[in-house]
Structure 1
Amino acid sequence: MNLPVVPFGKPRGERADAVRNRERLLQTAREMIAECGTQKVTMDGLAERAGLGKGTVFRRFGTRAGIFQALLDEDERRFQEQVMFGPPPLGPGAGPVERLIAYGRARIAFLLDNHGTARASLDRTKPIPVGGATMTRPHIRMLLGQIRPSPPYPDTLAVQLTAALEGPLLLYLSMDEAAAEPAPEAHPLAESWQNLIQRLLPEAHFPQ
């Protein structure tokens, strides 16, 4: 059984004009990022470029980090749809250990591909979240529940694997811009995740 897609994005029941304003602001933000990078996107600049009032931007996003969080939420929804409905091994149809490895590798690739947006979405006045509003922990827990023989303490194991996956990655994202270099295709974080899962859940744990 698959988990439902986490309801990121615009709340249900929004007025039509609010929906249009949100979509206009997000599209404008993406254009600004493509042209000059995340560092040049400001609340004032976004409002001016979109032709909307500054108050509209603040009501919609709250903070500058909120702009990038909203962008990341849209991309997150698409990522979740690939996990829920896409081809295996990321999507349904593969064994749980294979899917667990594929999820970690895809999750790392997702945030590294969205590195600038993910960095800008972090509110430096608050603790760095680990697996907060993402599907990572419940998805890992679901896959652990499908493994036979079942690993011991699957609930706490899911928490620990979530921290192992998203903790180092988010610390990487919080590094100074100069210290964060473009990621190679086989990033050490992805390789380390696969090595961890293969050692923790060896071939004997694949369903027979």
Structure 2
Amino acid sequence: MPERTRKDATRNREAVLAAADALFTRCESPDSVTTADIAAAAGVGKGTVFRAFGDRAGLLRALYEARLEPVRAAVEAGPPPLGPAAPPRDRALALLDAVLCFKLDNRRLALALEGSGGSEGSSPYRAEHYERWHGLLREVLDQVPGLTDSAFTAHALLAATRADLVEHLAGERGLPRERMRADLAALARRVLAPGGAE
């Protein structure tokens, strides 16, 4: 009996994540997707969603983490330009590009998660996903010769990948993806050029 219950819980969790993924991909505004919508699309009750994820923010975090896993694996152990064997400046540029591409590919979900700050009323800069991006980038920037404040530089560079800015540029202004990637790379190169961050 407990084994069947675990299997049911796993199946329900996967169904909820798949339903949320589909709804956020199709939605015009992330605020329009409710927990009730997700439960109905998954064929489960709202109570099942709350038991599995705690609340809407918990569901958003779980979905974000599931989508983020391939990027994390590439950063932590992959080959250059993201993996640890790449030169630090190249790795920083590749990491920023990966963050931007991730936000572009997951615009509605990133907006919903960053808008909530991870929990009601808290700063998005305290959210686990932001702390992870910042920590990864700061570790790389610590290895860049001549860079005096890797923590602040990581914050400043990540600001260019905020979901609301990405949505404004890509969604409202219609900036092409490759232009946004090139502009971010050019900014990062200027900041990380020898003597550029002093």
TM range (shorter): 0.7 to 0.9
Q: Which has the higher contact order (CA 8 A, sep 6+)?
A: 1
Distance (whole Å) between structure 2 residues aligned to residue 131 and residue 183 of structure 1: 29
Q: What are the equivalent positions in structure 2 for 1:44-83 lying under 5 Å apart?
A: 44-83=36-75
Q: Does the alignment pair 1:200 with 2:191? A: yes
Alpha-carbon contact 1:91-1:99 (below 8 Å) kept: yes
Q: What are the equivalent positions in structure 2 for 1:131-170 lying under 5 Å apart?
A: 132-134=127-129, 135-147=132-144, 150-153=145-148, 157-170=149-162
TM-aligned CA distance change 1:173 to 1:202, over 3 Å: closer
Name the amino acid aligned to 1:68: L
Aligned length: 185
Displacement of 1:166 after TM fit? 2.6
TM-score, scaled to structure 2: 0.73
Displacement of 1:180 after TM fit? 3.4
Alpha-carbon contact 1:112-1:183 (below 8 Å) kept: no
Deviations 1:49-70 (A, max 9, x none): 3222211112333443443332
Displacement of 1:97 after TM fit? 0.7
Displacement of 1:114 after TM fit? 0.7
RMSD of aligned residue pairs (Cα, Å): 3.3
Alpha-carbon contact 1:137-1:158 (below 8 Å) kept: no
**Structure showing the higher helix proportion among its residues:** 2
Distance (whole Å) between structure 2 residues aligned to residue 173 and residue 53 of structure 1: 35
Name the amino acid aligned to 1:126: G
Distance (whole Å) between structure 2 residues aligned to residue 120 and residue 152 of structure 1: 33
**Of 93-102 and 53-62, the range deviating more from structure 2:** 53-62
Q: What are the equivalent positions in structure 2 for 1:164-203 lying under 5 Å apart?
A: 164-170=156-162, 172-173=164-165, 180-188=172-180, 190-202=181-193
Alpha-carbon contact 1:131-1:162 (below 8 Å) kept: no
Name the amino acid aligned to 1:139: L
Tell me the percent identity. Answer: 33
Alpha-carbon contact 1:173-1:180 (below 8 Å) kept: no
Alpha-carbon contact 1:128-1:170 (below 8 Å) kept: no
What residue ranges of structure 1 are gaps of 5+ in the alignment?
Answer: 1-14
Distance (whole Å) between structure 2 residues aligned to residue 57 and residue 80 of structure 1: 26
**Of 57-66 and 98-107, the range deviating more from structure 2:** 57-66
What residue ranges of structure 2 are gaps of 5+ in the alignment?
Answer: 1-5
TM-score, scaled to structure 1: 0.70
Name the amino acid aligned to 2:121: K
TM-aligned CA distance change 1:31 to 1:16, over 3 Å: same
